[in-house]
Structure 1
Amino acid sequence: MNAVQGDRIVIRGRTVESHDRHGEIVEVRGDNGEPPYLVRFDDGHESVVFPGGDFVVEKAST
């Protein structure tokens, strides 16, 4: 998966009770757009993320 700063990330909830998490990639720390990504989630929380199979990257519009 390749991403750039400004792309959006959606991490899907794994259970019925959990909600999807949405955020913006503020820094790509891997080589050539690869993870890990520093993500600022919509609730203001920031975290370094190594996305798994439960995520989608939405490309920023140019």
Structure 2
Amino acid sequence: MHAEVGDKVVIHGRTVGTADRGGTVVEARGTEGPYVVRFDDGHESLVYPGPDLTVVRSTA
């Protein structure tokens, strides 16, 4: 899974009742991750891509 700085990511909830989380890639540390993501609530975290992560390409 490839993402670049500025791309949006969505991490889908893995259990019933768990909400999806969205954020923006602010740093890519490799061609296939991990990525530093700033989530919509302002929290930043190192994210390793997995089957529950979807990348939405930036149009800019």
Structure 1 length as normaliser, TM-score?
Answer: 0.91
> Does structure 1 residue 10 correspond to structure 2 residue 47?
no
Please tell me the residue identity of whatever aligns with 2:10. V
Letter in 1 for 2:36: L
Q: Would you identify which runs of 4 or more consecutive aligned residues in structure 1 move more than 6 Å?
A: none
**Corresponding residue number in structure 2 for 1:55:** 53
Percentage of pairs with the same residue: 57
Q: Which runs of 5+ in 2 are unaligned?
A: none
Provide the aligned C-alpha RMSD in A.
0.8
Cross-structure match for 1:19: 19
- TM-score, length-normalised on structure 2? 0.94
| CA distances 1:19-49 after superposition (whole Å, capped 9, x unpaired) | 000000000001xx31000000001100000
Structure 1 gaps, min length 5:
none
Count of aligned positions: 60
Work out the CA distance in 2 between the residues paired with 1:47 and 1:2: 17
